[in-house]
């Protein structure tokens, strides 16, 4: 029996232990944390860019509706531009909402003058802090 226990002890000593050490686990967790720290800000920027591109697409839809309203005589000057006049030329009958938080569209129509000084349709988007042109010039 003594020989059996000595043999078992030798077998256990020679067997390699399986599993990860604490240092290996800490290194893996640190690598994952570094990758997350890099990826999360990129995701936020991608979402912001996607929202801006969606606002540009909505601005083009609004500009098309303004052009149709102008061609039908519904809008003749800047003072005539209202959401109600534009919305009936948009599918669904409602002005698109801005994807930017707190954002809204402002439509300006500068009718072309005989001298060619009018600039046409300009759409700006305001998010409360900044205003930027999303369509026209």
Contacts of 103 (CB under 8 A, 6+ apart): 55, 125, 126, 127, 128
Answer yes or no: is pLDDT of 13 > 80. no
**CA-based Rg of the chain, rounded to a whole angstrom?**
32
Q: How confident is the model at residue 35 (pLDDT cuts 50, 70, 90)?
A: very high
Q: Per the structure block, which two tokens stand in for 56? A: 């540009």
pLDDT tens sequence across 57-89? 888 888 888 888 888 888 877 667 788 888 888
Report the distance separating Cα 119 and Cα 135, nearest Å: 12
Domain extent listing, the chain: 22-135
pTM: 0.63
Q: What is the dihedral of CA 90, 82, 75, 67, to 10 degrees?
A: -40
Q: How confident is the model at residue 17 (pLDDT cuts 50, 70, 90)?
A: low
The predicted pLDDT at position 30 comes to: 97
The predicted pLDDT at position 45 comes to: 86
Q: How confident is the model at residue 42 (pLDDT cuts 50, 70, 90)?
A: confident
Instruction: Please provide the distance, in angstroms rounded to a whole number, between the alpha carbons at the two ends of the chain.
Output: 96
Report the distance separating Cα 23 and Cα 45, nearest Å: 34
Answer yes or no: is pLDDT of 11 > 60. yes
Strands (E), 1-137: 104-110, 120-126, 131-135
């Amino acid at each position: 029996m003594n020989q059996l226990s000595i043999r078992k002890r030798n077998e256990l000593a020679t067997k390699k232990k399986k599993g990860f050490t604490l240092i290996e686990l800490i290194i893996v967790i640190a690598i994952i944390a570094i990758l997350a720290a890099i990826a999360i800000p990129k995701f936020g920027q991608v979402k912001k860019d996607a929202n801006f591109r969606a606002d540009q697409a909505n601005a083009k839809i609004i500009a098309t509706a303004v052009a149709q309203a102008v061609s039908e005589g519904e809008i003749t000057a800047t003072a005539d531009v209202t959401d109600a006049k534009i919305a009936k030329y948009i599918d669904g009958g409602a002005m698109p909402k801005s994807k930017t938080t707190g954002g809204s569209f402002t439509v300006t129509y500068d009718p072309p003058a005989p001298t060619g000084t009018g600039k046409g349709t300009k759409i700006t988007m305001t998010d409360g802090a900044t205003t930027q042109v999303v369509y026209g010039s």
